[in-house]
Structure 1
Amino acid sequence: MKGKKLAASLVVTLAFSTVAPVFADSTISIGNISVTPISAPANAVVIQDASKSEISKEKAMEIAKEALKKHFDLELDDKKYQSNIEYRKDWNDPERNVWAMYWNYNDPMEYSHAGVTIDGKSGKILEMNKDGGKYGEQTPKKTLITREEAQEKAEAFIEKILPGLVKQTKLMPLYEDYGPIPYGNPNPIFYHFNYQRVVDEAKYDANYINVGIDGATGEIRNFNYRWEDELKLPSKSGIMTVEEASKILRDKTKMELIYLPIRDEFNYQPIPKSLKLAYRPSYDFANMLDAKTGKMIGWNGKDQDQQLQAAGLTEKQIAEIKKSAKPIVKKAEVITQERAKELAIEILKNEIEGDVKINNVNYVEGDGYWETAGRKAWNIDFTVEKKADPKVDAKLSIMPINNGRVMIDAQTEELIAFSNWQNDMVYGQPFDPVLTWEEAYNKAIDMVKKYQPDKIDQIKTEQVFVKNYEMIDGREIPPMEYYFNFTRTVNGIIYEDNQINVSFNSKTGKLQNFNSRWNEDLKFPARENAISLETAKDKFFDINEVELGYYRYNTINDYQNPKYDTRLIYRLLSLKPQYNLIDAISGKFIDYNGRTMPEVSQGDFNEKIKGHWVEKQAKILAQQGIIDKDTFNPDQEISRIEAVKMLVSARGMDYYYPLKEAAAEVKYSDVSEDDSDLRFIYMAMRHGIIENKEGKFNGSEVINREELVVMLVKMLRYDALAKASDIFNVSFADKDSIKPEVLGYAAIAQGLKLVDGSGSFRSADKATMAETADMIYKALSYVNR
């Protein structure tokens, strides 16, 4: 069944591909471009067993076409569109059969795609989507509607297609409420709205309505919903109170200390430039509370104590292993290739059965491999040829060959990586494992003891196993691999960037992977000044509320033939889903790069700009991360650095262009390599928004309208044109006061309607945040042209 699903998905993916246009065989010229078309394939129909459907294929097609015409203003021409039709189980609810229909049209000038999914029993429309456009046509680069306007459109559409249902739902938090887009996104916003059903004041998220709206056009682009007409939900009788549930959930929520690696966000550094102490919430499998029994349950609806196995070493066992470890001696020179090969062969004799052939030996260092960060190593690729078993190999349709690698530290001779990629297992086929999880854990500890015993007291030996076997075609499939992640700990604090991973093939019992990533000479911050665990937990629960919900789950883990049940549960609803890390020193929420998260809420920001003439523009730019909700005050004068940051965010940040090498080229005397805004200053120079010149940048200095307009026109890359000032005329009332070298910039700003040409240019007036936001919003129509 999974294979059929995958095949169906591939058919859909190919049908929706816009990489190569599909049209009749001929060569067509578009301007200077010659295009050789690809012949269109025949329309595809995939039918599993349509005899179970009360809606015929023809009726389903009729319903779908009428819906696309009525709701999406899309009329399908069968001669023009290719179609793919499937009758299959619903991927959201396998107990339901659906007709899934897709249409695709491509020619050298335009493309159009659409899809509709219909309930095979009732004929109800469950999903609709469309996309289309013209090749070579300038796409809109500006969001025209705010989130509030998009939400009104979404709810009006739901009311039209599903009368009365939106009143039975709750809108989930939206992306722009989660946190800032760090460096802006000049592209139009695509709004997603997720409404989840509420029954008797409890959320039932198995029933939902989703709507997607194009922020540039205001069009509904996709819709899907799942809704049960006859609900069979458990009674709320006998459930605990919210206060009781809150206490248990608080007690069960762990706040663990971690060392967070801080790196340059744009240029990956194998070894982080610094580390930061942070708190984060943690759970062992279960993160929901049964509202009646008070027991913690996991995503599969089962009690925590029924699902978990745990193992770990005692302090005495750790000490004994550490005592037997030989000192690690780091050589000044790297070992030879022959020595590395010799060490690898010895390891392969211990871990591999069969005839081993060394294929390649190469020297590596740096971040070429995950394990080699800050290290020098020899990487040895090998092949294992095993004796063929005609019966087994014919059944599996595979060749009895394994490939793998061994990686040896070139200065310490430690094993830092071993992989044995075995191909003698097929997903979904039952087998009898030769190892239990406990036995595999003991073997994993033996591997650490054998290859890196000196680190045994620096790793978290406690491991947890979730006993959750998948069912396929009514048969229980054991885990194909037992995996153990021994995370590095320093001063009892987790540092996940360093770890030793060990896994075993559960069918053969053989070592499958051993990987060690470990960096010496890191400076770990002391924990003495950290806020307490309880203080961190208070902060976490300040942005989470306990909600009552109905939780539907599959009781048998058979995803092809599920059997559902529903429990009343209490769980945490995050009011700020991206606020998961707390700086253990400052107590403020931070992101995964260690930056402090904004403290101004969407509501606070909306109140600050309410009724202002720039309200709509500011809302849209804030949603795109182009203006900072924390610092934006519409009538406040704007500094040079704030203007530069907004312009760079509107132009688009290059995440991959190297900064460190170029930072030395910055000539401003008051800008250092440690400047927090260096990335913006450098990108502004790269985009031509500012010049890289001797003297001071004076980032905190307020700028005037003249400088703002010049930077804005440069951001649009019209600088060369603006310098031809003698070809321009302007109609500003104070045009005689405009400097000759600025006249071209002023004219372009007027011509593009970035500023109002019917009034005064006001060159020397200080620019405000509102004026800057308004000009940038208007300029987005021309970005990337």
Structure 2
Amino acid sequence: MKKYKKLIALSMMTAMLTSPAISFADSNMAGMDNGVLDSKLTVPAVIEQRELTKRDLEAIDYAKAIMKDYFGTELKSEDYILDVFYSSDYNDEQFPKDKNFRENISVSFMPKSENGGGGAYVAYYEDNKEIISVSNMNIDYEAKRKMTKEKGHEIAKEFLKDKTDLDLSQFTYKVFEESPYNQEYVMGDYYYQRVHEGIEYDGDFISVTVDLSTGKVVSFYQNYTKSLKFPDATPKLTAEEALKIAKEKFTSELKYVTSPSDEKRAIPVYIIDTAFGDAVDAHTKNIYYFGGPVTIEKFNMTPDEVSNLTKDIKPIKFKAENKGQAVEAANMLLKEVYGVELTPKVEYSEYDPNNVYVTYKDTKAKLEYYVSINISDNKALFMGRMPMYIEGMPYDMPTNQKPVINYKQAYEMAIKELAKIAPEQLKQVDFEQVNYVYDSNPYTPAEYYFTFPRKVESAEFQEQFIDIRINGVTKTVESIGIYWDDKKTFDSLEGLIKPEQAMEKFLSDKSMQLRYTLDYNQTQKTGEPVIKLIYSLVSKDGHYSGSYIDAKTGKYIDYPVMYAEPAVAP
């Protein structure tokens, strides 16, 4: 599955910049002549189908030529499922493109099966066919390195010299500490960050990946803007002054996390939250918010208020001590929550044989439902629904939907629904929800998502929680999950250091680094790239020390298990 995940990630790299129209082609279809596609498209997912055009064929041919030029790889259309993305076909009034936006095209070659070899991906600008990204995924991920990472860097530099006209004097090579877990990984990744007057600019960069078992470059990506106006490189305050301003926004919160040495035990830690203070404008001396000005809305209920809200709710009771009972319980849950009765298909979870996983298909509504129940502890662990792909019947994805309920109404609805499915867990959670509304993003979601973490005494244990998605358009539940383990033990909250001591420890190895950043909020408003000079929080020695401080020893906790594997269905 590794090559599939890599291809999806590469496709999303372009899709995040633009959400283009999509077409998929199965080159096995009738109408193909010597690799030339002129048939209707079929799709491996819930995506649009349409006739291939001359434009599609030109894009596919150009991508093939690039793969041959860059990697010496010849691709045959009939060996792959092909998809083509066009940014020019996508326009959203809520997220307009700025006037300097360059339309792009991307083509993915996806193997028809896991044994069908690697895939490929090419993305380029439409105006001059300049390459944005190119990847050859025909890789043996189990292979061993046959050269050092330094040798791979020499290969990467030679590739950039031969295949691009990028001026590397405008970039600095970034050396990242390699995790012990990655030292045997066959890939070597090399990054170059753009600099201006000796100051790094985070908006432009280059990356090259080399297969260290073969010495071949397997991927290249660039994000480079030729015409940029940088503000004055002289800051109005020092790094020390910037840190003093920033730390006023930092918070130290007591929480539980799984012990790194004992997964059955949770220990108290202070988690330092820097989300709204880790950057300072080097000219105005104000806190810099990357998403633009933000309004924080908090919703909370006391246990008494929750009790009053849910007093008329009748919990759905069921018994599921074996597979048969679990299926009966799943059928009942489906009817109670979604009001439908369908034929179940039963599986056991590959993660836990005690999890009975039941799926249902409603071909008329083009929806698939799923319910997972653990027969070892008699719990509904996960249930939900999603659009179902039926070959030849593409799901009509709704557009421009607007919710008929607001965040607070959805919050109250979520608590009522959870009172049906998870009444016992609901008595042990923190009900506070924080909603961040960015001025730069007026988008109103069609769905609301709530997570209620488990609370032990006065500390949250975020690895265990119940969550729910509410459709704001239809006022219905999309999914409910129970991530819970009653067997977990919790250390006492006695003998803790003070929050101020934890903050002092966190700040002891931190400083502020001067850099340029693209102001997305102002860029969207003006239609021109707007760059700001800011100070951002970094570790003094470049080693990421994390933000978890042991609440008893005052020491950093390395690699805490933030999300222990939950006892849930896949």
Give yes or no for TM over 0.5: yes
Q: Does 1:419 align with 2:375?
A: no
User: What's 1:571 paired with?
Assistant: 536
Q: How far 1:162 sits from its partner (Å)?
A: 6.0
Alignment of 1:357-436 (within 5 A): 357=341, 359-360=343-344, 368=352, 399-400=364-365, 404=369, 418-419=383-384, 421=386, 427=397, 429-436=399-406
- TM-score, length basis structure 2: 0.67
Q: How far 1:524 sits from its partner (Å)?
A: 0.3
Of 12, 17, 36, the residue aligned with 1:42 is 36
Of 263, 267, 273, the residue aligned with 1:276 is 267
Moved more, 124-133 or 83-92: 83-92
Structure 1 residues 127 and 341: CA distance shift in structure 2, 3 A: closer
Distance in 2, matches of 1:114 and 1:407, equals 36
Distance in 1, matches of 2:118 and 2:311, equals 69
Contact 1:322–1:454, Cα closer than 8 Å, also in 2: no
Of 309, 317, 323, the residue aligned with 2:305 is 317
CA-to-aligned-CA distance 1:725-783 (integer Å, 9 cap, x gap): xxxxxxxxxxxxxxxxxxxxxxxxxxxxxxxxxxxxxxxxxxxxxxxxxxxxxxxxxxx
Q: How far 1:6 sits from its partner (Å)?
A: 6.9
| RMSD, aligned CA | 5.8
Structure 1 residues 380 and 169: CA distance shift in structure 2, 3 A: closer
Aligned to 2:181, what secondary structure does the other structure show? Answer: coil
User: What's 2:430 paired with?
Assistant: 460
User: What's 1:143 paired with?
Assistant: 146
Q: Does 1:180 align with 2:201?
A: no
Structure 1 residues 253 and 171: CA distance shift in structure 2, 3 A: farther
Moved more, 120-129 or 314-323: 314-323
Structure 1 residues 530 and 348: CA distance shift in structure 2, 3 A: same
Q: How far 1:198 sits from its partner (Å)?
A: 1.4
> What number of residue pairs does the alignment pair up?
510
Distance in 1, matches of 2:546 and 2:315, equals 43
Q: Does 1:592 align with 2:560?
A: yes
Structure 1 residues 482 and 66: CA distance shift in structure 2, 3 A: closer
Q: Does 1:304 align with 2:294?
A: yes
Structure 1 residues 119 and 190: CA distance shift in structure 2, 3 A: same
In structure 2, stretches of 5+ residues that fail to align are 1-13, 39-51, 91-96, 389-393, 563-570
Q: Structure 2 counterpart of 1:258, which letter?
A: K
User: What's 1:716 paired with?
Assistant: none
Q: Does 1:242 align with 2:242?
A: no
User: What's 2:410 paired with?
Assistant: 440
Aligned to 2:190, what secondary structure does the other structure show? Answer: strand
User: What's 2:171 paired with?
Assistant: 169
Aligned to 2:292, what secondary structure does the other structure show? Answer: coil
Distance in 1, matches of 2:105 and 2:310, equals 62
Contact 2:156–2:217, Cα closer than 8 Å, also in 1: yes
Q: How far 1:571 sits from its partner (Å)?
A: 2.3
Q: How far 1:460 sits from its partner (Å)?
A: 1.5
Distance in 2, matches of 1:540 and 1:230, equals 39
Aligned to 1:277, what secondary structure does the other structure show? Answer: strand
More helix by share: 1
Distance in 2, matches of 1:311 and 1:178, equals 41
Q: Does 1:479 align with 2:442?
A: no
Q: How far 1:129 sits from its partner (Å)?
A: 5.0
Structure 1 residues 590 and 274: CA distance shift in structure 2, 3 A: same
More strand by share: 2
Structure 1 residues 526 and 59: CA distance shift in structure 2, 3 A: closer
Q: How far 1:466 sits from its partner (Å)?
A: 3.1
Distance in 2, matches of 1:65 and 1:516, equals 46
Q: How far 1:191 sits from its partner (Å)?
A: 1.4
Aligned to 1:400, what secondary structure does the other structure show? Answer: coil
Q: Structure 2 counterpart of 1:503, which letter?
A: R
Distance in 2, matches of 1:161 and 1:276, equals 52
Aligned to 1:248, what secondary structure does the other structure show? Answer: helix
Q: How far 1:196 sits from its partner (Å)?
A: 0.9
Contact 1:357–1:383, Cα closer than 8 Å, also in 2: no
User: What's 2:457 paired with?
Assistant: 491
Contact 1:429–1:477, Cα closer than 8 Å, also in 2: no
Distance in 2, matches of 1:144 and 1:491, equals 53
CA-to-aligned-CA distance 1:295-341 (integer Å, 9 cap, x gap): 55555x31123xx322112476368679999999999x969978995
Q: Structure 1 counterpart of 2:364, which letter?
A: M
CA-to-aligned-CA distance 1:388-418 (integer Å, 9 cap, x gap): xxxxxxxxxx833655466788899886655
Q: How far 1:231 sits from its partner (Å)?
A: 0.8
Structure 1 residues 168 and 534: CA distance shift in structure 2, 3 A: farther
Distance in 2, matches of 1:379 and 1:117, equals 39
Contact 1:256–1:280, Cα closer than 8 Å, also in 2: yes
Contact 1:545–1:572, Cα closer than 8 Å, also in 2: yes
Distance in 1, matches of 2:503 and 2:458, equals 19
Distance in 1, matches of 2:373 and 2:73, equals 63
Aligned to 1:445, what secondary structure does the other structure show? Answer: helix
Q: Structure 2 counterpart of 1:144, which letter?
A: M
Structure 1 residues 582 and 46: CA distance shift in structure 2, 3 A: farther
Distance in 1, matches of 2:119 and 2:56, equals 26
Structure 1 residues 462 and 57: CA distance shift in structure 2, 3 A: closer
User: What's 1:607 paired with?
Assistant: none
Distance in 2, matches of 1:441 and 1:364, equals 33
Q: Structure 1 counterpart of 2:181, which letter?
A: I
Structure 1 residues 82 and 288: CA distance shift in structure 2, 3 A: same
In structure 1, stretches of 5+ residues that fail to align are 16-21, 23-37, 51-55, 266-271, 385-397, 595-785
Pick 1 or 2: higher relative contact order, CA cutoff 8 A, min separation 6.
2
Distance in 2, matches of 1:5 and 1:178, equals 35
Q: Structure 2 counterpart of 1:225, which letter?
A: Q
Contact 1:127–1:224, Cα closer than 8 Å, also in 2: yes
Aligned to 2:180, what secondary structure does the other structure show? Answer: coil
Q: Does 1:230 align with 2:227?
A: yes
User: What's 2:565 paired with?
Assistant: none
CA-to-aligned-CA distance 1:69-96 (integer Å, 9 cap, x gap): xxx6x49799999998979549999922
User: What's 1:510 paired with?
Assistant: 476
Moved more, 426-435 or 111-120: 111-120
Distance in 2, matches of 1:516 and 1:79, equals 44
Q: Structure 2 counterpart of 1:205, which letter?
A: D
